[in-house]
Homo-oligomer: A and B are copies of this chain.
């Protein structure tokens, strides 16, 4: 039996096929340019050559049919019969306050997801289209949704509420939801394993730093705070997103430039962060520019590290001195040693001491590392994240009737 996972973006569909019995990835791929004049597919099956092609895929329906054809293909495929697919796991951006964990898709579930569209107007329609197309193409296969927000639903109200007019919450659902939940859940559980502790006794701060980035405070195995909010804009300095700013900057700039609310949203999401500061967002490019004397690139690195360090210190106080470890994950967290170094400078204040040598030699996405000094009261870990694995396992468990809250089972 295989588990298929699907991640549908506005114009793309990523997929992975996982062999449950052998715990092995059989194929990964992506369809891009969905809805444009021609679409592309990149498909890579284990031990086979990579396959690229152009197709016509006006909607996610054709994309998913195409993916299924590839999986069954004589030359590039990995299964003989659709019946081999035991379950499908769909990545969904937003579950509002309804979904506190992964769930099997029903008509009612889809109705509930549709209600959440205003909270993720760019992603949710694509997520829902993907689910509907997969249900049509595989009507007898159980489908599960795995939500970026679900993990964070354990936050107390003092963490998820904003100090804005109360009716913004009751009427417009304005609250902190948090994102990257699947990754934070994975890392929280792996951290418990690395630390040799039970999930429910583990207190960690997880820094998921990719192009998008968020920090999460985990107390007794569950999320108690996170840096992303109503949307993925809030919090850290990211590749192209501002993270935290004085909110008054928005009306100030709108009044001074005549920018619209939409243009402002775009500026803060796409033209800010590292891009806004120095014109680059890939941390390798920013580092290189900084080393070559580009002062704005240096500023961008300093700001990224400083913001992260402040969040870590802030979250340490929420854990009341019981912090076990700080975890770095995702592209930057796993690979960008200079960002880890800069962010950890000063963390002695909360009992975390980086071993600079261990940090320096750790830049693999294939292993879990401890990069704090042996005598550091708080450990610093690097854990390669694996959101696909969580999606696969949740889809399997839901299909199998063995799904449980994550604090009750181990990887």
Cβ of A222 within 8 Å of any chain B Cβ, yes or no, is no
The 8 Å CB contact of A250, one of B244, B261, B307, B309, is B261
The minimal Cβ–Cβ distance linking A60 to chain B, given in whole angstroms, is: 25
Cβ of A164 within 8 Å of any chain B Cβ, yes or no, is yes
Q: Is the interface of A mostly helix, strand, loop or mixed?
A: helix
Give the distance in Å from the alpha carbon of A201 to the alpha carbon of B124 in the complex: 54
Give the distance in Å from the alpha carbon of A5 to the alpha carbon of B312 in the complex: 42
From 202 to 248 in chain A, residues with beta carbon under 8 angstroms from any chain B beta carbon are: 228-231, 233-234, 237-238, 241-248
Contact A247:B268 (CB < 8 A) given known A276-B166, A306-B159, A316-B313: yes
Give the distance in Å from the alpha carbon of A69 to the alpha carbon of B219 in the complex: 63
Cβ of A161 within 8 Å of any chain B Cβ, yes or no, is yes
Cβ of A390 within 8 Å of any chain B Cβ, yes or no, is no
Chain A 277-321 near chain B by CB (<8 Å), digits 1 or 0: 110000000000000000010011011001101111111111111
> Are the C-beta atoms of B265 and A251 separated by less than 8 Å?
yes
Cβ of A50 within 8 Å of any chain B Cβ, yes or no, is no
> Are the C-beta atoms of A312 and B303 separated by less than 8 Å?
no
Contact A163:B346 (CB < 8 A) given known A261-B251, A313-B316: no
The minimal Cβ–Cβ distance linking A324 to chain B, given in whole angstroms, is: 12
The minimal Cβ–Cβ distance linking A167 to chain B, given in whole angstroms, is: 9
The minimal Cβ–Cβ distance linking A107 to chain B, given in whole angstroms, is: 27
From 356 to 391 in chain A, residues with beta carbon under 8 angstroms from any chain B beta carbon are: none
Contact A255:B248 (CB < 8 A) given known A242-B163, A277-B163: no
Cβ of A53 within 8 Å of any chain B Cβ, yes or no, is no
The minimal Cβ–Cβ distance linking A310 to chain B, given in whole angstroms, is: 3
Cβ of A172 within 8 Å of any chain B Cβ, yes or no, is yes
Contact A234:B247 (CB < 8 A) given known A166-B277, A299-B161, A317-B349: yes
> Are the C-beta atoms of A265 and B242 separated by less than 8 Å?
no
- Chain B residue with Cβ nearest A311: B314
> Are the C-beta atoms of A317 and B321 separated by less than 8 Å?
no
Contact A320:B302 (CB < 8 A) given known A166-B276, A253-B172: no
Give the distance in Å from the alpha carbon of A262 to the alpha carbon of B314 in the complex: 32
- Chain B residue with Cβ nearest A378: B349
Cβ of A157 within 8 Å of any chain B Cβ, yes or no, is yes
Known: A250-B264, A251-B262; 5 extra A-B contacts, CB below 8 A, are: A158-B299, A168-B253, A250-B250, A255-B262, A321-B348
9 closest A-B pairs by beta carbon, nearest first, are A229-B246, A310-B314, A313-B317, A234-B246, A158-B302, A251-B261, A231-B248, A320-B346, A254-B261
Q: A: which residues have CB within 8 A of B? A: 118, 157-159, 161-166, 168, 172, 174, 176, 228-231, 233-234, 237-238, 241-257, 261-262, 264-265, 267-269, 271-274, 276-278, 296, 299-300, 302-303, 306-307, 309-321, 323, 345-351
A–B Cβ pairs within 8 angstroms, 5 of them: A164-B276, A174-B253, A230-B249, A247-B247, A310-B315
